[in-house]
Amino acid sequence: MPLSPTDDIVRSAAEGGGGVGAFNVVQLEHAEAIVAGAETAARPVILQISQNTARYHRSLEPIALATLAVARASSAPVAVHLDHAESADLVRQAVELGFTSVMFDASKLRYDENVAATREITAYCHARNVYVEAELGEVGGKDGAHAPGVRTDPDEAQAFVAATGVDALAVAVGSSHAMLTRDAVLDFALISRLRDAVSVPLVLHGSSGVGDAGLIKAIEAGMTKVNISTHLNKAFTHAARTYLDAHPETADPRKYLGPARDAVAAEVARLLEVLS
């Protein structure tokens, strides 16, 4: 089926009081697995390609075209999203390729510079019917907004959304990127205050570090889009390693990438049930 607009998927989840899973694609097997999981769960899904992944593939276009093709062949509603883009040129390339949304990350800039850069990107994307997510404060595993006591301020979030016109906002509420354990402690009261302060859906980055119960409670408190990457990479790598440990003579990568793909598909299907 045609790609689904990110706006339609996220708005529908928000109106229904549920969440939507947004999972990162690193290579073709990830895209295939995520879509297979969505089809199994009969749930919509968002495929995400990060700036780091584009850099890994030496260009956005090869992995983007493959991911877009997988998405368009799905029987489930699928959107394709550019994640953590710090480059305006990369945003423009994603829009030209047909991405349904972008996440522009100017969070390393001063607040006024973040507002100005994000407002410019938002105007460009809206003129082309592309949904825009932004970040206020650094939501990453490098201290930043995850240093002790640092969280997104609801009043600042409200002003930022009004000044930039973004469609969704990633906020710092206690999660952190690249966590290998699922024991992050979220500030659910802050999530509720942020939900009441801003008029757009909230996005939880670093959700790999949040357990199932925490994800459910975060959605109940006001989160809508839930980004997960490292958790799936762990499942992928564990399945590949298990196969190679049992078959050390293997040379054909399809032999171990297949089970890895299947493991991710199963976990995506399970997580989509949790999030909805």
Domain boundaries, the chain: 6-275
The top-level CATH class assigned to 6-275 is alpha beta
Q: Which two tokens stand for residue 14?
A: 């928000």
Give 5-58 pLDDT, tens digit per residue.
999 999 999 999 999 999 999 999 999 999 999 999 999 999 999 999 999 999
Confidence of residue 146 (pLDDT cuts 50, 70, 90): very low
Nearest to 83 by CA among 205, 172, 264: 205
Q: Give the tokens for residue 191.
A: 């999530």
Q: For residue 107, give the nearest of 66, 65, 164, 155 by alpha carbon.
A: 164
Task: Output the pLDDT for position 2.
Answer: 86
Torsion of CA 32, 273, 6, 1, to 10 degrees: 50
Among the ranges given (129-143, 195-209, 231-245), the one the predictor scored with the smallest mean pLDDT: 129-143
**pTM of the full predicted structure?**
0.93
Helix (H/G/I), strand (E/B), else coil: 146: helix
The mean pLDDT of 142-167, rounded to a whole number, is 79
Distance in angstroms (rounded) separating the CA atoms of residues 216 and 229: 18
The one-character DSSP state at 208 is G
> Which two three-digit tokens encode residue 81?
């999203």
Percent of the chain at pLDDT above 90? 81
pLDDT at residue 208 in the model: 81
Catalytic residue list: 83
The answer on pLDDT for 141 being more than 50 is no
Both tokens of 151, joined, read: 């969280």
pLDDT, mean over the chain: 92
